[in-house]
Amino acid sequence: MSFQYKNTNPDRNLVGDCVIRAISVLMDRDWESTYLDIALQGFMMHDMPSSNNVWGTYLHENGYSRYVIPNTCPDCYTVKEFCEDYPQGKYMLATGTHVIAVIDGDYYDTWDSGDEIPIFYWRKEN
């Protein structure tokens, strides 16, 4: 369970595209194709690509299901702890202001976001 640096953005941008970066990591796709797919989803829904509803719909259409993290300790359950609790599978964690790709217990991001507090997650269903 560890942080893995990953930036799929072709210009190595570090802000504003975490949804595209995380989905491209989860689906093992390039940033450009992922961006176009999410932008098209937003166009069809008349909403912005970064909207939770837009990228959530895209994930759902690609076999992911959404789950809420229990509110038993809203300020103490971290990305690192999620990875320890879920050592297998593909997940997208949402913190409210950021999203992080998690694959088999490792979290992929452009910075060590392990201390962030996830609110909900998407899991790839078999």
Q: What pLDDT is stored for residue 41 in this prediction?
A: 98
Closest CA to 20 of 33, 5, 41, 34: 34
- Tally of domains within the chain: 1
Which H helix or E strand runs over 121? Answer: strand 120-124
Distance of CA 73 to the CA centre of its chain: 21
Q: What pLDDT is stored for residue 56 in this prediction?
A: 97
Q: What DSSP assignment string belongs to 88-110?
A: SSEEEEE-SS-EEEEETTEEEES
Q: What pLDDT is stored for residue 89 in this prediction?
A: 95
Q: What pLDDT is stored for residue 38 in this prediction?
A: 97
- Burial of 96 by CB count in 10 Å (0-12 exposed, 13-18 middle, 19+ buried)? exposed
Range of the domain at 103: 3-124
pTM of the model: 0.93
Q: What pLDDT is stored for residue 91 in this prediction?
A: 97
Distance of CA 3 to the CA centre of its chain: 14
